[in-house]
């Protein structure tokens, strides 16, 4: 077995298959004309204040609905004042006409402040404080998973990704349905289990660790790879090395190791173009419903939009909107760049 991909995958246009979603991405390596010079940029100096009197997430401040935030010390969680879902959303009447279907959607939205410090990012926080953030995610899964089928933890970081406020925070949306993306992953992981009697992402991580070429970071319990089927230039997948269906299944040592690997990944991202790297990230794991969920494997997706510099982003337009995703820079080159970028 060869350790690296066939040479033609670095030279000729081809489509790669995403086994998690069943979708394809068009890769056009012949268009990536700019070789990387190995330059590592220094992060831009930031002069943000530790406390912003106008920030609706800082301790002691008033939020839009008039509530006052407590003087919290580490993590602070509240129900979103502008929720996209309501827990008493009775539609009255569902619609089932084939061309006009509408179903009730019940749920809740929360905001998690990672730190009382307005000026920090997750990348800049201490590992012990990132561990508290992970623990807060686990607590939300346990609490909301009692009521709702799907709990989506996600973070939009940076103005480019539409984050409304630099104060370090993420969101949790819980819904009594399986949304589109987890629905595809449910189907494909289940089919893989039936066909191979093993776990898709567990097989995947062990094969990636053998091949090495797309591995960005490997630790005792976790690995970060640029997936073979990545769409965004520096997209990554954070994967446990043991079978872990849901975040609440993580052991203590795995939680600590995750805090370490997240910090390393985020510091690499920040060093890549010398900017606090914008991204949307989020977690996928087994839904909270009865039945066998053992085909599921916990993982995080990082989707950063930047392509070449702090300001040049990839656009998902035209062919992407109308046909399928396309990229020039190969996932292998992106992984090598991230791997070689120092994490500190």
Please name the residue that has the structure tokens 């004042």: 81
Minimum Å distance from CB 157 to Zn ion?
A: 14
- C-alpha radius of gyration, the chain, whole number: 21
Neighbours of 186 (CB within 10 A): 20
SS3 122: helix
Query: Which residues, 106 to 125, sit near ligand H2U by CB under 6 A?
Result: 111
Nearest alpha carbon to residue 6 among 339, 336, 344, 332: 332
- What tokens does 212 get? 């090495």
Q: Does 64 bind ligand H2U (CB under 6 A)?
A: yes
Minimum Å distance from CB 324 to Zn ion?
A: 40
Q: Facing residues of 23 across strands?
A: 18
Give the span between the Cα atoms of 302 and 235, in whole angstroms. Answer: 6
Residue tagged active-site, from 118, 157, 167, 169: 169
Q: Does 16 bind Zn ion (CB under 5 A)?
A: no
Minimum Å distance from CB 62 to ligand H2U?
A: 8
The residue (of 95 and 164) whose beta carbon lies closer to ligand H2U is 164
- CA distances 295 to 20, 37, 203, 209, 244, Å, are 12, 42, 12, 21, 10
Contact 112, 173 (CB under 8 A): no
The residue (of 76 and 222) whose beta carbon lies closer to ligand H2U is 76
**Part of the chain binding ligand H2U (CB under 6 A), chosen from 43-51, 97-105, 164-172, 190-198:** 164-172
Q: Which of 5, 21, 28, 80 binds ligand H2U (CB under 6 A)?
A: 80
Q: Residue 169 catalytic?
A: yes
Among Zn ion, ligand H2U, none, partner that 111 touches (CB below 5 to 8 angstroms by kind): ligand H2U
Minimum Å distance from CB 67 to ligand H2U?
A: 8
**Residues noted as catalytic:** 169
Q: What does the binding site for ligand H2U look like in residue numbers (CB under 6 A)?
A: 56, 63-64, 80-82, 111, 156, 163-165, 171
């Amino acid at each position: 077995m060869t350790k690296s991909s066939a040479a033609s995958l670095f030279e000729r246009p081809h489509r790669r298959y995403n086994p998690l979603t069943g979708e394809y991405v068009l890769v056009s390596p012949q268009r990536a004309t700019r070789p990387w010079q190995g330059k590592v940029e220094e992060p831009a100096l930031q002069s943000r204040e530790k406390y912003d009197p106008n920030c609706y997430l800082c301790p002691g401040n008033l939020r839009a609905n008039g509530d006052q935030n407590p003087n919290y010390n580490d993590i602070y969680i509240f129900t979103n004042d502008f929720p996209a879902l309501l827990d008493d959303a009775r539609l009255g009447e569902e619609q089932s006409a084939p061309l006009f279907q509408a179903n009730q959607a019940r749920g809740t939205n929360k905001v998690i402040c990672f730190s009382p410090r307005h000026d920090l990012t997750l990348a800049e926080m201490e590992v012990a404080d990132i561990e508290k953030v992970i623990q807060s995610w686990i607590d939300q899964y346990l609490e909301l998973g009692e009521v709702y089928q799907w709990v989506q933890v996600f973070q939009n970081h940076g103005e480019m990704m539409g984050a409304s406020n630099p104060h370090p925070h993420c969101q949790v949306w819980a819904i009594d349905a399986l949304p589109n993306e987890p629905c595809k992953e449910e189907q494909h992981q289940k089919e893989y289990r039936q066909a191979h009697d093993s776990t898709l992402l567990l097989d995947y991580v062990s094969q990636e660790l053998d091949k090495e070429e797309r591995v960005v970071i490997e630790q005792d319990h976790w690995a970060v790879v640029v997936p073979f089927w990545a769409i965004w230039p520096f997209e990554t997948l954070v994967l446990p090395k043991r079978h872990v269906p849901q975040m609440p299944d993580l052991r203590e040592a795995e939680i600590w190791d995750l805090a370490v690997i997240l910090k390393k990944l985020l510091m690499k991202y920040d060093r890549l173009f010398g900017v606090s790297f914008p991204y949307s990230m989020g977690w996928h794991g087994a839904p909270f419903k009865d039945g066998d969920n053992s085909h599921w494997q916990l993982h995080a997706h990082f989707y950063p939009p930047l392509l070449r510099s702090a300001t040049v982003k990839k656009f998902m337009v035209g062919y992407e909107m109308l046909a399928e995703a396309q990229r020039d820079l190969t996932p292998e080159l992106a992984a090598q760049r991230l791997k070689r970028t120092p994490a500190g």
